[in-house]
Structure 1
Amino acid sequence: MEMRTTQKTGIKTSLLGFGCMRLPQKDGAIDYAETERMLDAAYDAGVNYFDTAYVYHGGKSEGVMGSILKKHPRASFYVADKMPVWLPKTRDDLERIFNEQLERLGLEYIDFYLMHSMTVNNWSAVKRLDMLRFAEEKRAQGKIRYIGFSFHDTPELFREILDAYDWDFAQIQYNYLDEKGQRAGELCDMLEQRGLFTVVMEPVRGGDLAALPEVAAGPLRQTTPGRSLASWALRFVGSRPGVNVILSGMSDPEQVRDNLRTCSPFDPLDERERSALAQTVAELERIPHIACTGCRYCMPCPAGVDIPGNFDFYNGFQRFGPNPGRVRRWGMLDKKYDACIACGACLSKCPQHLAIPEELKRLAEVAAAL
């Protein structure tokens, strides 16, 4: 297993991290036996970074992960967990949630503790309740080792957050499709400049990059036959030297085996393979889509429409089909395309100069096909 370290923390982690957000299911609940086999296989192969969150699997992920890991020496693995910053309203809520996390995990301390899902609103919540001071107090008590955050917003907000605190690490979404389209490469650049421990989530973009349309998969299959599409996505991320951990939310044993093969040992992309990936991205870009970068400058919408969320769903549907997870996330949006009142408030804010009300109408075709 490829191992990596940074000067900031000095610790050594496996390149592959096990994300516990998409654990196998049975009868509507986490399949404990299958999950145990998968976590044990990863641990035995050298994986030592395991990631969960308070809200994963309806609050059940922490307990399952902690129960399985406790059979191993505590110093042999790292646990990452997250404060759901949008939930607590008072200092007492912070205490309650954190203590519940420790109880679920069955641990005395959490190695990597994150402010979960930093957006403009969530960052405001962190500041309002002084959550970083709370985390520092827990670190002084020996209950947290490293303080970081996971991120889902613009590079501009990312820089603001980085400059506001002496962070130990950060977790970002990064993959070969989002590197430029969602400006994810800029986030990596900022972390590398600061020498921060870097965790990458969604390297396979929620499974999209493991299920490419054939026109996009062709250049990869022709260049290196026999490699899985998922392995190309992990190798792209891992070929960036500033990346310490690639989180993969593995759902079945074959995904575990494939990811272990990719990272044991790790083989960086060569120039021929980078060229093939560029062709794949070009083919995906040729598929009709809305040229939204997810910058969210168009927000808030007076009618409450989550414009980037709708556009992201449309683009994913066009390129990769009706992925159940994507359809579910779209269904959870408060306001969809049909709530648009065509007021035009978004038009002057869009850096891409998109005709947003007209573009939203494209989603009617997708909705009719579901």
Structure 2
Amino acid sequence: MINNELGNTGLNVSRIGFGGIPIQRLAQSEVNKIMKHLTEQGINFIDTARAYTVSESYIGEALKDGLREKFILATKTQARTYDAMKADIETSLKNLQTDYIDLYQLHLLKTREDYDLVMSENGAYRALKEAKAAGKIGHIGVTAHNAVFLESLLDEMPFETIQFPYNLVERQAEMLFERAKAKGIGVIVMKPLAGGALDNADLSIRFILENKNVDIAIPGMDSIEQVTQNAAIGAGNLPLSESECLQADQIALELGTQFCRRCGYCLPCAAGIDIPMQFLLEGYLTRYDLNDYATTRYVNQPVDASACIKCGLCEPRCPYHLPIREMLTRVTKAFAAVL
């Protein structure tokens, strides 16, 4: 496995890391085997989140007997206030059965108002700084889905790493990554297979690793076979051929006609729908096969896809000209079939 320095953190990470979303549907015994196999394949970075139901707990249980020191652990939370963040850090430590988390991230930062709240006196960042000073966490990062917004924060934000979607289809973060790398900010790529929309893992991950500004990609894995396959890609250094580059562009073109990149330009919705979230949850339902995870979050939204009034205001705003109304109807039908 080829390793990279994660920005200026001093962390030496395998360039393929383990994404902890899919293990929610496994048994603890299966997760134990996967964690052991990660060490055998040279993968030393694990990413999970408070929102991933049992993922933290599964990982903690699997690592408790001698494996913890073999990994760089990263988790994240959508907590925005001091008290909520302080509580979530303690919950993560307990779930992961450790006294130290290498990287704790603010999950899904979306707006300037969101950022200002986090950085306020009673915001989440103060709790993160205190936890770092106390030795409970090592480094502080952020995840987001809006490249323009995140890039606008680079000159002022205190975060040591960024985690952002990047793959054959979602390439909007390339300038963000270049600027982050120049500033010594670690670059972590999530959604390397576009939430399961891309089925050629070799092509997709090699495309990502060719970007010199990317430190690590974290595909979700739920089997020993996937670990072996992804580790082999990370251990190689085979550049894409001309024909593979053309294939990558063709895949992007084909998926681009019906694929949401979660840029958020379609918002605000007249009916109050978080439009990108509908397509993200649909992906968890139909591609990740996370039925319970997706449906629970879908029904707990203040407004879901079924509330679309077909006004069409969103569609001219979409830089990819997606038929959003038609796609929201598809989401509604998909969830109606399982609820």
| Pairwise TM-score range, normalised by the shorter structure | 0.7 to 0.9
The within-5 A match list for 1:74-113 is 74-85=68-79, 91-113=82-104
Code of the aligned partner of 1:17: G
- Deviations along 1:181-236, whole A, 9 cap, x unmatched? xx2323323322323211111101122111xxxxxxxxxxxxxxxxxx11111111
Residues 304-323 of structure 1 aligned to structure 2 (within 5 Å)? 304-310=272-278
Alignment partners' CA distance in 2, 1:64 and 1:311: 27
SS at match of 2:87: helix
In structure 2, the CA distance between the partners of 1:109 and 1:71, relative to structure 1 (3 Å rule), is: same
Mapping of residues 58-69 of structure 1, within 5 Å: 58=53, 60-69=54-63
* Alignment-mate amino acid for residue 197 of structure 2: D
Tell me whether 1:155 sits opposite 2:167 in the alignment. Answer: no
**Is contact 1:237–1:243 with CA below 8 Å preserved after alignment?**
yes
- Alignment-mate amino acid for residue 95 of structure 1: K
State the SS of the aligned residue for 2:174: helix
1:38 aligned residue: 34
Q: Does 1:176 align with 2:168?
A: yes
The match for 1:257 among 212, 228, 231 is 228
Identity in percent:
29
**Conserved 8 A contact 1:347-1:353:** no
Which runs of 5 or more structure 1 residues have no equivalent in the other structure? 211-228
2:252 to 274, 281, 285: 281
What's the TM-score once normalised by structure 1's chain length?
Answer: 0.77
Which AA in structure 2 matches 1:197? G
Q: How far, CA to CA, are the matches of 1:231 and 1:360 in structure 2?
A: 33
Q: TM-score, normalised by structure 2?
A: 0.83
Q: Name structure 2 gaps, 5 residues minimum.
A: none
Q: Which residue is 1:216 aligned to?
A: none
- Identify if the C-alpha distance between structure 1 residues 325 and 35 changes in structure 2 by more than 3 Å, giving closer, same or farther: closer
**Contact 2:167 2:193 (8 Å CA) reproduced:** yes
Amino acid at match of 1:64: Y
- Which SS does the other structure have where 2:197 is aligned? helix
Partner amino acid, structure 1, of 2:2: E
Provide the alpha-carbon RMSD of the alignment.
3.2
8 A contact 1:198–1:244 mirrored in 2? yes
Deviations for 1:320-341, whole angstroms, at most 9, x for unmatched residues? x776459946944543455344
Structure 1 residue 204 corresponds to structure 2 residue 190:
no
**1:7 to 1:303, Cα distance in 2 relative to 1, 3 A:** closer
2:184 & 2:141 partners in 1: Cα distance? 14
Q: Report whether the alignment pairs 1:123 with 2:115.
A: yes
The alpha-carbon distance between structure 1 residues 160 and 96, as it changes in their structure 2 partners (threshold 3 A), is same
List aligned pairs for 1:218-233, cutoff 5 A: 229-233=200-204
Are the equivalent residues in 1 in contact too, given 2:7–2:181 (CA < 8 A)?
Answer: no
1:141 equivalenced with 2:140 (yes/no) = no
Structure 1 residues 184 and 325, CA gap change in structure 2 (3 angstroms): farther
Number of aligned residues: 330
Look up the equivalent residue of 1:101 and give its one-letter code.
S
Q: CA deviation at 1:162?
A: 2.3
In 2, Cα distance between the equivalents of 1:366 and 1:35?
Answer: 31
1:157 offset after TM fit, Å?
1.3
Structure 1 residue 351: deviation in Å? 6.1
User: For the residues of structure 2 that align with 1:103 and 1:353, how far apart are their CA atoms?
Assistant: 43
Structure (1 or 2) with the larger CA radius of gyration: 1
